[in-house]
Amino acid sequence: MSQVFFPQFKKGKEGIPIHPGLTILDYIRKLGIEINAECGGNGKCGKCIIRIEKGIKNLNEPTLLEKKFPLGENERLACQARTIKDIEDIIIFLKSFSKYEILKYGTERKIPLSPVFYKKGNEVVKDGILPFSILQNIGKYQGKIYGLAIDIGTTTIVFNLVDMENGNVLETVAEMNPQISYGNDVISRIEFASINKETKKYLEEKEKKEKVKILQKLVIDLINTSIEKLSDKTGEDLSQYIYEVVVVGNSTMRNIFFGLDISSLGTIPYEPVHRESIIMKPEELGLKINPKGQIYGASLIGSHVGADILGDVLASEIYKSEEICMIVDIGTNGEVVIGNKNKLLCTSCAAGGAFEGTSVTSGTGAIEGAIKEIEIIDGRVVYSTIGNKYPVGICGSGLIDLLAELLNKKIMSKNAKINQDFYIIGEIKITQADIYQLITSKAAIKTGEEILMKLYPCKIEQLGKIYLSGGFGTFIKIKNAIKIGIIPDIKEDKIIKIGNGALEGAREMLLSKERRRLSEEIAKKIKHIKTNEIEKNFDYIMAENMYF
């Protein structure tokens, strides 16, 4: 039997046996190799480009979907190239795509230390969460007590290696979420784990569990590999010192990590099967940390508003604020929280992936070469790119700048209309169809903000502060975000960027039993609002917000 080889990757050099009927994307997924397949392997995004170095006779002819993309010689889409023969070995090279510029850091505030695992005499002990504290002897103190704070995002995974004896962050690791080979959004992954792609029927319970395990293993393997790399770097096995892991993420990502069913998040009323905090042992997940340690998953808030937003709330401290504040976390599934110490409301906004580069002609993620800033000066476009690399497309912050500049220069009307495609450089451009996608995303977020303010109730002038969380909120120009209406029009000095608030929240839960208990209380206190159900004029408000 011949094999399929991926020489660029350690896990692909040994090859995998050819099984006629499988696509190259199937082999890539089996090996856990990172590839961008935004559309989930449906041949629509054209991102999973591969080059066939050898064995092209084993494959089917290019499909009609592939012919829509400008593929080079011997290039195919991994999701469309299917092995139909076993004549010879196949050697595949993935078309390289740049790493995302991942937001690694939160505010890293100083907090009183009271971790679950700590040194007592010459022993490491485990303390339960107050008020039901039961001390357990874990083993001899080995000189270090570490923990991991992990933010599992849909696109990226970031974690801190934390010294739990002094609270210091020793290392920060940031990688793309390898689940991207199953689609770039949570809906794609929910469908993978709950629906048969061929028959369109819901999977049986056993099949659903198997599919979730596939997605779960990708993340667990990435974290284990990252720990091994850190160990190699330091010259000692760090896993023995890691006693606890705290995980945050949206509802889908957190529950996949713990191997829980996610199918309910894809059907009405779109609620997770397990919303409470969760604790599991390392062997249950296959996570290579101290075997006597534990993994803690922070509470979910409701529907698609997950533990990552709970981390934002903890990091921003709006839960104890006198004034009414707002948190905005913009992504494929944008989230908004409003409130103070008296009341907290939240909602998720189906923003889609337009501001993350999907569904936009020249859109791209925050990768090297992505245009991140744009100005139009005397009719000339001035821009800068991530990493100062040659431009490959426009990422979210650049798209916000572009819309604001087109509006300021009256190239685009307040009705979001342009007379012709607008070119940045070369073939990188924005079209009328692109603008429609962007204003739809903008409208979803603005509508969420407005309905929450109406329900609270709170007028714009009553807002004390707006906290912007996540990579998108960190890199945008505030004045341009206000100009296009993606965040409320308040004084810029009241808008605070908190970086990776989700990661900071996870770090605080790792270092403090009190913060952890507080987070669980906050999760119960926050009222999740399904704006499209509670607001009778939802469609009208959305339509109004499509304009500037």
DSSP for 309-344, please give it. Answer: HHHHHHHHTGGG-SSEEEEEE-STTEEEEEE-SS-E
| One-character DSSP codes across 368-429 | TTEEEEEEEETTEEEEEEGGGPPP-EE-HHHHHHHHHHHHHTTSS-TTS--SS-EEEETTEE
Give the per-residue pLDDT at 401.
Answer: 95
What gap in Å lies between CA 427 and CA 260, rounded to an integer?
A: 44
Is pLDDT above 80 for 14? yes
| 277 pLDDT higher than 90 | yes
pLDDT by residue (tens digit) across 199-254? 889 999 999 999 999 999 999 999 999 999 999 999 999 999 999 999 999 999 99
The C-alpha angle with vertex 311 and arms to 308 and 314, in degrees rounded to 5, equals 160
Task: In whole angstroms, give the CA distance from residue 529 to residue 101.
Answer: 32
Residues contacting 114, CB < 8 A, separation 6+: 511, 512, 513, 514
Residues 6+ apart with CB under 8 A from 210: none
Sheet of strand 136-140, all strands in order from the earlier edge strand to the far edge: 117-120, 123-126, 136-140
pLDDT category of residue 542 using cuts at 50, 70 and 90: very high
Cα separation of 390 and 371, whole Å? 9
Please report the domains of the chain, with CATH numbers, ordered by start residue. Answer: 3-94 (3.10.20.30), 117-308 (3.30.420.480), 362-430 (no CATH)
Report the candidate in 288, 279, 169 with the shortest Cα–Cα distance to residue 217. Answer: 288
Predicted confidence band at 129 (pLDDT cuts at 50, 70, 90)?
low
Q: Is 285 exposed, middle or buried (0-12, 13-18, 19+ CB in 10 A)?
A: buried
Residue 118 near residue 127 (C-beta atoms within 8 A): yes
**Is it the case that residue 100 has pLDDT exceeding 80?**
no
Burial class (CB in 10 A: 0-12, 13-18, 19+), 37: buried
> 362, 369 in Cβ contact below 8 A?
no
- What b/e string do you get for 466-488 counting C-beta neighbours within 10 Å, with b at 16 or more? bbbbbbbbbbbbbebbbbbbbbb
Say what the pLDDT of residue 42 is.
86
3-class secondary structure, 494: helix
Q: How deeply is 125 buried, as exposed, middle or buried, from its count of CB atoms within 10 A (0-12, 13-18, 19+)?
A: middle
Q: Is the pLDDT of residue 68 over 90?
A: no
Which range (49-58, 148-157, 356-365, 418-427) has the least confidence? 356-365
pLDDT over threshold 60, residue 39:
yes
How deeply is 298 buried, as exposed, middle or buried, from its count of CB atoms within 10 A (0-12, 13-18, 19+)?
A: buried
Which of the four pLDDT bands, split at 50, 70 and 90, describes residue 107? low
**Taking the model in full, what pTM does it have?**
0.84
Instruction: Please check the confidence at residue 132 and state whether its pLDDT lies above 60.
Output: no
- In this model, does residue 48 exceed pLDDT 60? yes
pLDDT at 492: 93
Q: Mean pLDDT, to the nearest integer, of 159-181?
A: 91
d(CA 72, CA 90): 18
* pLDDT, tens digit (0-9, with 9 covering 90-100), for 485-535: 999 999 999 999 998 899 999 999 999 999 999 999 999 999 999 999 999
User: Residue 118 to residues 3, 78, 125, 231, 279: CA-CA distances in angstroms?
Assistant: 50, 48, 6, 22, 18
One-letter amino acid for residue 15 of the chain = G
Does residue 432 surpass a pLDDT of 80? yes
The helix/strand/coil state of 94 is strand
Please give the structure tokens belonging to residue 548: 């500037």
